[in-house]
Amino acid sequence: MKPAELLKLIESGLRPEGRADLLSVRMRSEGVDYAFSKGFTDKVISRISEGVVVVNRQLDFARSLNSIFYRVAFAGVAAIIILLISIFISEGSLSLNSLVGISHDLDEGLIGLLTVN
């Protein structure tokens, strides 16, 4: 039986109006046998179980990476908050100049230098 004919036969068996039991009878009458070798089921189950182990390892890695990310992110946010509080205490405000590190006196001096006064 040619592969195209076999494909048409299988497709006809999968249709709602087709009957699967007639499909197997017709395939056997055409000389197509779909018997599997010994140990096929065990091989398939072992391959599936190997894939499950890999997926579990990937999930464990993602979980550990996720927990590490949260720890680093919380530490970073805490450091930023401490830095903002220290800038506010030393400069008295959280303006752009105080965040950049330009004091009020330096700001006036820069404006004077740029306008050549």
pLDDT by residue (tens digit) across 45-71?
Answer: 888 777 666 667 777 888 888 889 999
- pLDDT range class, residue 11, cuts 50, 70, 90: confident
Can you tell me which residue has the tokens 């830095």? 83
Quickly list H helices, 1-117: 3-14, 20-29, 40-91, 96-100, 104-115
Print burial letters for 48-66: b (CB count within 10 Å at least 16), e (below 16). Answer: eeeeeeeeeeeeeeeeeee
pLDDT at 49: 75
Contact 18, 12 (CB under 8 A): yes
CA terminus-to-terminus distance, the chain: 98
**Per the confidence metrics, is the pTM higher than 0.85?**
no
pLDDT by residue (tens digit) across 82-109?
Answer: 998 988 888 777 777 777 776 656 656 6
